[in-house]
Amino acid sequence: MEIISLTQPSPKERVSEKSEAQVLSFGEDLGEATFAAIFDMDGTLIDNTPYHFKSWQMLFKKYGKGNLSKHEYYTNISGVPVMETIKKVFGADHNEAQLKELLNEKEDFYRKSYAPFLAPINGLENFLTALKNAGVKMAMATSATIQDIDFILNKIPIRDDFDAIVNSTMVSKPKPNPQIFLKAAEKLNSTPADCVVFEDSLAGIKAANSAGMKVVAITTGHTAAELHPVDLVINDYSELTVQKLTALFQKH
């Protein structure tokens, strides 16, 4: 595992021309990339995980489920579909309609608290442009609800960067099962071995490894030491270039 610790100036405007994108790659002519990139959303494209944590804490406290610790959240809830956790915590004494109401209450609290701060992780938009200009096929594979996906992508103009978006309703088994990443690879017409997954959660990292894909972890919710096994660890996308990803597929 390689841990990147580079200091680069903050990106100003999103680049759109290939010649400009190659500056992000230190000027190397990359040609057409032969790998595909799959991105988680929460905690990976945006640093919203603390707001999800607060909304879960509110729900636990309001309905007498005790105090949710940060360790419990980041270990067992982060990266898992919301309804999976709702059913696990509240399913014994709530019917289906009540579980949906709990989900909506949790998500409403999250959106209202996060909306004023909604922003992409530093360097993301320039990095997506560099990938696109290098011919990298991209997908989003997220446990988030369709409403949450729209909440994010209606504010951050990156929807068109993705060739496919796979959400939790399109698979039967949630992370840490690899199904969602395998579905994304299928939609990109790529083999798992030719894919790199960007993830922040332990469940997502386990899923990506089980899928047989390369893994780049981002430290929005865990320290670098906690994110394993992965191929690369970054703090944000200003530290990453297209050829660093290419190098992952050249290792033997």
The pLDDT-based confidence of 130 (bands split at 50, 70, 90) is: very high
Catalytic residues: 40, 42
Q: Using the structure block, give the residue that is written with the tokens 């796979």.
A: 166
Tokens of 176: 């840490």
Stated pTM of the model: 0.82
* pLDDT bucket at 79, cuts 50 / 70 / 90: confident
Domains 2-47+121-248 and 49-117 share a fold: no
Which pLDDT band holds residue 26 (cuts at 50, 70, 90)? very low
Distance separating alpha carbons of residues 236 and 101, to the nearest angstrom: 35
- Model pLDDT, residue 202: 93
Q: What are the domain boundaries of the chain?
A: 2-47+121-248, 49-117
Distance CA 106, CA 242 (A): 37
The burial of 163, by beta-carbon neighbours within 10 Å (0-12 exposed, 13-18 middle, 19 or more buried), is given as middle
Q: What pLDDT band is residue 225 in, cutting at 50, 70 and 90?
A: very high
Mean pLDDT of all residues in 175-202: 97
Spatial distance between the Cα atoms of 207 and 184, rounded to a whole number of angstroms: 12
Fold of 2-47+121-248: Rossmann fold (3.40.50)
**Do 106 and 86 touch, CB atoms closer than 8 A?**
yes
Separation CA 164–CA 11 (nearest Å): 26
Angle in degrees, CA 231, 237, 241, rounded to 5: 70
pLDDT at 226 over 60: yes
**Domain 49-117, CATH class in plain words:** mainly alpha
Mean pLDDT, range 17-25, rounded to an integer: 32
